[in-house]
Structure 1
């Protein structure tokens, strides 16, 4: 059990060892913080959270395993004293909304400074009611319910063609892109919309009025032979 008056214990979760090592070096250099575990997958993160009962979990948004919302939910259920701070390369308001719903205490872009990271950890440890967000004004506006565009023009084009049931190869040819670039755009779209599949991304984009309803991926119907 953690000492409520002792240093803040932190679990670092990222699938890149170099990132984990860098974060550990920063945190362990603080007199009021100590890293009590490192994980590279969602399953290991949950297991270590249960075992170590950290005050704070620094959770990368793209670790292998379960969806990030599932991982946060499991940590919150099994280790209710842990405050989860998300670290992300993506400034996606829809995913941010989903994560706030499941109880994260912070969402920081990986471009934040060392001082901002340390301040966020100290803030969520000291104040149970505080949520720390280091995101763009556009994302914050979307979270607060204001209408804003969250997809780039190219991402919207890729999603519109995805909604027409085109393959990645066909989308690449249509937009004069490489297939790898199309995959990268789709990955960004999934993160921004909090989607788990192509159809889910299209449906969420339609709900957010990012693409037209008629662009939705058609549902295939089973072929029936003509009546004789």
Structure 2
């Protein structure tokens, strides 16, 4: 499928959800960000691909509970037709089998609808920025957490500094510039952080570090 050339500018987002109040609130939240723009929204599954092409969408926020579609099939169709399109799932479910199926079909991330605003924004920026790690943020009960999640170990001062900048949605290049180090050094710190926290993505690492009080959430830091 031929897709119109995307102009440079804000990340172009489409919101897909059959609950109009939630969808409108989501669009309002995203449009308040300088680097994000909601260019399309729909509650009809059959319109998703057409709108994605027409509006040169970068990221689709897809609700899996819509009654007129099978989410894994929709994800596979979008990924096949538009390989550069990033699909981020928003769901009230945390079924591991569903998560794995959607990831296998081509979704770039899976967020529970109770995720913090900062988590959603960071996830959108990360997947559009080329983060190769799958982004998953779902709540866990204490029993599941203790059974399956490793207990975070301490981070070095530099690792905390790097992860704090990640929490503020800075890219590896921006972090390297701010800290005066090579981008490869930042990537090495992130690999160590992921290993220590048992994290599968930047967003997952931030969430686990916040839960363990290893870093403190700070206001967004502008690049300078």
Contact 2:108 2:135 in 1 (8 A): yes
* 2:132 counterpart residue number: 129
CA distance in structure 2 between the aligned counterparts of 1:100 and 1:39, rounded to whole angstroms: 22
- The one-character-per-residue Cα deviations of 1:65-117 (angstroms, maximum 9, x if unpaired) are 22000110111122222100000001100011101101111100000111111
Aligned partner of 1:105 among 104, 108, 116: 108
Q: Which runs of 5+ in 2 are unaligned?
A: 149-224
Contact 1:58 1:85 in 2 (8 A): yes
Mapped pair 1:8 → 2:11: yes
CA RMSD of aligned residues (A): 1.8
Mapped pair 1:76 → 2:79: yes
Mapped pair 1:90 → 2:93: yes
Note the 1:1-228 alignment, pairs <5 A: 1-3=5-7, 5-136=8-139, 138=144
Offset of 1:33 from its aligned partner? 0.5
CA distance in structure 2 between the aligned counterparts of 1:47 and 1:128, rounded to whole angstroms: 26
Contact 1:50 1:78 in 2 (8 A): no
Contact 1:86 1:106 in 2 (8 A): yes
TM-score computed with the length of structure 2 as normaliser: 0.59
Question: Number of residue pairs matched?
Answer: 140
Q: Which runs of 5+ in 1 are unaligned?
A: 143-228
- Aligned structure 1 segments of 4 or more residues deviating by more than 4 angstroms: none
- Secondary structure of residue in 1 paired with 2:34: coil
CA distance in structure 2 between the aligned counterparts of 1:81 and 1:126, rounded to whole angstroms: 11
